[in-house]
Amino acid sequence: MTIMQEKETADKKEAVKQIFPLILPKYNMILTPRSIILKNDNENIMIDETNFEALQKVLSQIFCINTGPMEAQSFNPADKKAQEIAEKLMKARKRVAA
């Protein structure tokens, strides 16, 4: 949540302002220095340091964002051809990373 406090991260704040209405269109968003408040007629939701990491995990799963080392971003090939493609992709990733 420190991103909301840093002055040089205006582009990231703008990205947050653009993505939340797509994810939660029925809520109005308010950015504060230490939290994001989502409001509608019936409820208020506050995203802060206590629940920000959980939100990140959920959004990563929803949008299929893989983070971490390449080995942790494993493939689950369905057949032999898919296995060959997965191996080629891993080799290419390792070449690019080197």
- Per-domain residue ranges of the chain: 2-62, 68-98
59: Cα within 13 Å, side-chain hemisphere: 12
> Average pLDDT for consecutive 10-residue bins of the chain (98 residues)?
60 86 92 92 94 89 69 70 86 79
Residue with tokens 């080995």, as numbered in its chain: 71
* DSSP strand pairing (36-39 vs 28-31): antiparallel
* pLDDT for residue 25: 93
* pLDDT for residue 47: 94
* pLDDT for residue 83: 86
* pLDDT for residue 40: 93
Task: List CB contacts of 1: < 8 A, sequence separation 6 or more.
Answer: 34, 35, 47, 48, 49, 52
- Supply φ then ψ for residue 75, to 5 degrees: -100, 155
